[in-house]
Structure 1
Amino acid sequence: MHHTSQNAYNGLAGMYVLHDRREQALGIPQGRYDVPLILRDAMFATDGSLIYNDNGESGVYGDVLLVNGVPWPEMVVERRKYRFRFLNASVSRSFEWRLVAGSSSVPMTVIGTDAGLMPRPQVVSSFRHGMAERYEVVVDFAKYPDNTLLTLTNLLPKNNIDYDGVKQAMRFRVRGDATSTENNAVPAYWEDAVPPAECMTFTEAALREQGVHEREFKFIRKNSRWTINGETWEDVIDSEYTHCMADPAEGDVEIWQLSNTSGGWFHPVHIHLVDFQILSRTRDGLPAPVYAHEKGPKDVVYVGENETVRVAMRFAGPAAGEGWPTPHGRYMMHCHNLVHEDHDMMMQFKVGDHDDDPRCDPITADRATAV
């Protein structure tokens, strides 16, 4: 608490790479053609140590981009499709990625978001990437001759502190024909083989007809504090961790409206426990389309400057009957600019009858025992 940004900046960040049998049967790239890209920025002193400066509790911004811990690397690729799993592991910097060969933009096919495969792949020329968001992207290098260089560039979203060293992340050098053509496809449609996440089946019209509960949360800088609906995590601490802003019942579906009325900063908002669908987005009070790369199950959403985003989710754990515990408990929602989280743009919500069962509270729960 209050030091998450420093721990993450010093390297306490990593990635899980997950598969299941249905996904592996689709023919999309696997094995050595399925590559994690952990992207972050950093600033180094002359002795190589990290410089941490939170710029008046607004954010930490480095002048070097690291990919899997390496500054500005080059990766040799074969002439075939690769799957890249993008994780923005920066403390405060967002990106907008564009892949170029010479002066030409290279299409990227987004196949997965934070919580798994999208219902349908989406081809984009660039995509916005907030802290802690994950995107799975397929790039086809098949048409490029040997020694073609493709550069992953950053289009510099506003309200980051920018340097020349953050305009490019890495480059790819094409060399040689594919040594394997297995799992070298991207189906245009796979909903029959991989049913979409439940949240992706929601429609706002149907949810409103059902009368689901709607809540609004305003992310506002006020009196030098990062607040949600005028409150901070200090209010939770003062309540001895009992104060909650929302109390959905287990299994409830709700719509949450996340609002950022400032033009001076953005907030990647992370809601714990759930996966959600982005239903709609407005910008400067006007309807704006949900970005193509966001049309999959999410748990972090980029709430940009003067944007309002509506998301829908069910407050439940894995399917009943699989031996999993109920999701009763307290969970957090916070800005994933970790400096904002530390100072104290974070709230908690309660699902089910948490407060009636001391086993749910880490303060009063029994110690874990070996199984």
Structure 2
Amino acid sequence: MEELLNPRVKAIQISGIRRFFNKVADYPEAMSLTIGQPDFPTPEHIKEAAKRAIDQNYTSYTHNAGMMELRQAIQQFVEKKYQLHYDAASEIIATTGASEAIDITLRTLLEPGDEVLLPGPVYPGYEPVIHMCQAHPVHIDTTETEFKLTVDGIKQAITDKTKCLILPYPSNPTGMVLTPTELEAMATYLKDQNIFIISDEIYSELTYGTKHTSIATFDGMREKTIVINGLSKSHAMTGWRMGFLLAPEAIAPHLLKVHQYNVTCVSSITQYAALEALTNGIDDAAVMREAYQKRLDYAYGRLLEMGLPTTKPGGAFYLFPSIEKFGMPSNTFSEALLASEKLAVVPGDAFSSYGDSYIRLSYAYSEEILEEGLNRLERFISKL
């Protein structure tokens, strides 16, 4: 019966991130620096809020877009943090993680034959959805611009088939951020283009030395931008699956229809936990951010000492060192590293062909694990 399956689904490959994470099971002594998941537990007060919701039998369906109290908390959170102004009743949807927000946004916007612009290298979660919509991803090479999308790059890639641009900053896998000046230049060009912007801002609370700025705050951008965010990274809530999207009133009802038929609503218990996170835990990310910056400084310094060229990130919790000088594909390098030193990293080609001269390391791990992992990497490259 397999031949009857949707060929677009059959063509999808498991994420390179997960593939190497899963390989660790085959090596009992292996360490992993693969997964972008906070090593902090969910804050206690958030867990207690979820327990209270269970004890009080708040276990029913909610409004499809999420409880109004939660949507109001999201509205206040993004206003305070990022100067984004969206109406809780008509422009905010709580989603099952940022992943569902990406899925329903692309399925709402795309038609067969459309083109989607996105940076290369880039998080691999967009491309499969684009293909399932019978649309086409168009990667813009950012390896010569410090992994930042530029106006020139967009101008060269945009066509009359372009439906939207994905702007995923802070970036997975590179950790790059766009400055307000860079965003303003981009907004000046994009406001006159008849395309949508999907601004994936899931790492917005994890920036170092600067505050996050959303492109939706610039003149002419709000009406064409869908902002995606969530609590997985900011509040160490990956397993809770709590995301949200912000969209102008003319677009949000159509996103809500796809969301409704997809999941009905986010788990009610997760919503109560999220309400606590966004109110009493509004600054919970500060302690984690401080720890990540310390880990970043250590790991970045180690990579430079090893002679691995690395652009220093401004956010998220990833490093993307170049392995070009070793003259081997990233998958070959990563396979050999795992076999030789029992260290798993993510080959850069998991993030498009533009990443094939790089590997991704996550520093969302304890200092002890980071130190040992980097020791193993150093031993490995010393033999090449």
Structure 1 length normalisation: TM-score?
0.30
Structure holding more strand per residue: 1
Structure holding more helix per residue: 2
Structure 2 length normalisation: TM-score?
0.29
